[in-house]
Amino acid sequence: MGAQWKAKGKELAANAKGKLFGKLAKEIMVAARSGADPSLNSRLRLVLEQARKVSMPKDTLERAIKKGAGIGSDAVNFEHVTYEGYAPHRVAVMVECLTDNVNRTAPEMRVLFRKGQLGTSGSVSWDFDHVGLIEAEPAVTGADAELAAIEAGAQDFEAADEDGSSLFITAPTDLDLVSRALPNHGFTVLTAKLGYKPKNPIDPASLSAEQLEEVEAFLAAIDGNDDVQHVYVGLGG
């Protein structure tokens, strides 16, 4: 759970496909600022690969590229804003937003953090490492995540979770390099992005079932905001 919080339940993921497309469209727009050609823009290429894997409609994808690159009359400019603070029971949280109106997003975040504590810049980020995060699944039987991590140049990895995917952790500058190398070592890349990994995650066993439910409810409310792209939490897996 520590690398990026995810809502529990396959049905939640299925019902949230429209929201996922919306988040990916924003990511594409921001990445396309540096150029609409994915062969010359590694960040855009990685997001486009993720969009195609979840069957994002081609016209939606192409429209997002044009908006972000400023092509046409409906160009859109999103700002990247990070909020940090604590969920209930002092669980550290990093929230990445993409917004076209900070004056709308900021008060919404203050309201959402009322059940926790909204911090100032740097109040929580010191306890997270800024890293590349690559989610990948075995493409061949017997693919070894540890061996693949070593050979592809990842710094670390987290073993497969319940859906069979592993998380490969890289230096920020190595994200594109490792994501390109993993397929040669038996893994299919599902997502690749820069994010945050907690240095000292809280053991969920130290919290009661009721406390964990309060944390989950808080995180679900944060993630439900339309401007929120990613939620990183200082809680162990």
Task: Give CA–CA dist 52/46, Å, rounded.
Answer: 10
Q: What is the mean pLDDT of the chain?
A: 87
Asked if 81 contacts 99 with a C-beta cutoff of 8 angstroms, the reply is yes
Name the CATH code of domain 129-198 (choices 3.40.50.10490, 3.40.50.970, 3.30.1950.10, 3.30.70.980): 3.30.70.980
10-69 and 79-126+199-233 agree in CATH topology: no
Alpha carbon dihedral 68, 69, 74, 80, in 10-degree steps, equals 30
Tokens in use for 72?
């046409």
Tokens in use for 93?
């949280």
The model's confidence at residue 8, banded by pLDDT at 50, 70 and 90, is low
Instruction: Report the sign of the C-alpha dihedral through residues 26, 32, 36, 40, in that order.
Output: negative
Which residues touch 101 (CB under 8 Å, ≥6 apart)? none
Tens of pLDDT along 176-194?
899 999 999 999 988 888 8
For residue 3, the model assigns a pLDDT of: 55
Asked if 93 contacts 222 with a C-beta cutoff of 8 angstroms, the reply is yes
Architecture, CATH, for domain 10-69: Orthogonal Bundle (1.10)
**pTM for this entry:** 0.80
The model's confidence at residue 33, banded by pLDDT at 50, 70 and 90, is confident
Asked if 132 contacts 175 with a C-beta cutoff of 8 angstroms, the reply is yes
Tens of pLDDT along 193-236?
889 999 999 999 999 999 999 999 999 999 989 899 999 999 98
For the chain, domain boundaries: 10-69, 79-126+199-233, 129-198
Amino acid residing at 75: A
DSSP letters spanning 49-73: HHHHHTT--HHHHHHHHHHHHT-SS
Residue whose tokens read 């890289």: 170
Which residues touch 36 (CB under 8 Å, ≥6 apart)? 44, 65, 66, 68, 69, 71
- CB atoms near residue 227 (< 10 Å): 22
Name the CATH code of domain 79-126+199-233 (choices 3.30.70.980, 3.40.50.2300, 3.30.1600.10, 3.90.1720.10): 3.30.70.980
